[in-house]
Amino acid sequence: MIGAGIVIVLILLSLTAPVLSPYDPQAQDLSLRLQPPSASHWLGTDEYGRDVLSRMLYGGRISLSVGFVAVGISLLIGIMLGAIAGYFGGWVDQLIMRTVDVVLCIPTLFLILMLIVFLGPNLFNIMVIIGLTSWTELSRLVRAEFLSLRQRDYIQAARALGVPDFIIIFKHILPNALAPVFISATFGIAGAILLESGLSFLGLGVQPPTPSWGNILTTGKDYITQAWWLTLSPGISIFLTVLGYNLLGDGLRDVLDPRLSGGEEHA
């Protein structure tokens, strides 16, 4: 419940950023540069005199968008490939799983950095690249669920009645395999937000002047001795966001995972 509360508050703040933001997040006033928190600027100003609170609110929209879109892409790929591999088995399963093994052999951060260099560091590319590099674990999870569920009596009965494979996969098996997928997706959102923040911090994510928590943190690094608020605000925001999604994922796992019994987790 604590995790859900944190997530809901962050989503509401991001969605209402145009209403709650006291200033234009890109409006510059050099006469106000590096002002500490005050009644007029609750989180202070940055090196260009821009209001940090406004930039944080709009930056939250960027971070949450990256998390949801990237996980949406990884879910689409992971569920499709995992379902096909787990249901049909045989050479199809071997081909897909060996592809997963090859992708897992490549360091994720190195692969992301390489793709960003070729495609360019912008918001759309960041979302797509994170999604395209984070589907492997989901596909394995879905495959494992399908391997278990396809042996159930009701699936064997559906096959005997001549129900098409497409209907069996998407109507009879997939709905029963989604609980662990939702749990994994919740953790995936936290990971995608953290990864985007790290890329923006390195200058390879969302590019200025578009605000994101990562590039605000980068500015804070340069002025950490004279403008501590530039580091504190995005740091706490990233921490609370990741904590909220992780707590929510733990709670969902306790509720939805049938392999948990009596508070004990079975491998």
pLDDT in tens, 178-192: 888 888 888 888 888
In a domain, 267, yes or no: no
Residue 246 CB contacts under 8 Å (≥ 6 apart), including other chains: 3, 187, 190
Instruction: Give the DSSP H/E element, type plus range, for residue 78.
Output: helix 52-88
Cα gap 58→240, rounded to integer Å: 16
pLDDT at 263: 44
What angle do helix axes 2-15 and 52-88 make, rounded to 10 degrees? Answer: 120
In a domain, 45, yes or no: no
Identity at 264, one-letter amino acid code = E
- State the CATH number of the domain containing residue 236: 1.10.3720.10
pLDDT at 257: 64
- Structural domain range at position 214: 2-23+50-260
In a domain, 39, yes or no: no
Neighbours of 204 (CB within 10 A): 17
Identity at 195, one-letter amino acid code = L
The string of pLDDT tens digits covering residues 175-234 is 888 888 888 888 888 888 888 888 888 888 888 788 888 888 888 888 888 888 889 989
From the centroid of its chain, how far is CA 215?
18
pLDDT at 264: 44
pLDDT at 71: 92
In a domain, 87, yes or no: yes
In a domain, 225, yes or no: yes
Pairing of strands 264-265, 260-261: antiparallel
In a domain, 34, yes or no: no
CA Rg, the chain, in Å?
Answer: 22
pLDDT at 211: 86
In a domain, 36, yes or no: no
Residue 31 CB contacts under 8 Å (≥ 6 apart), including other chains: 49
Residue ranges for the chain with pLDDT beneath 50: 260-267
- Locate 10 and state its tokens: 């962050």
In a domain, 44, yes or no: no
Task: Please give the tally of structural domains in the chain.
Answer: 1
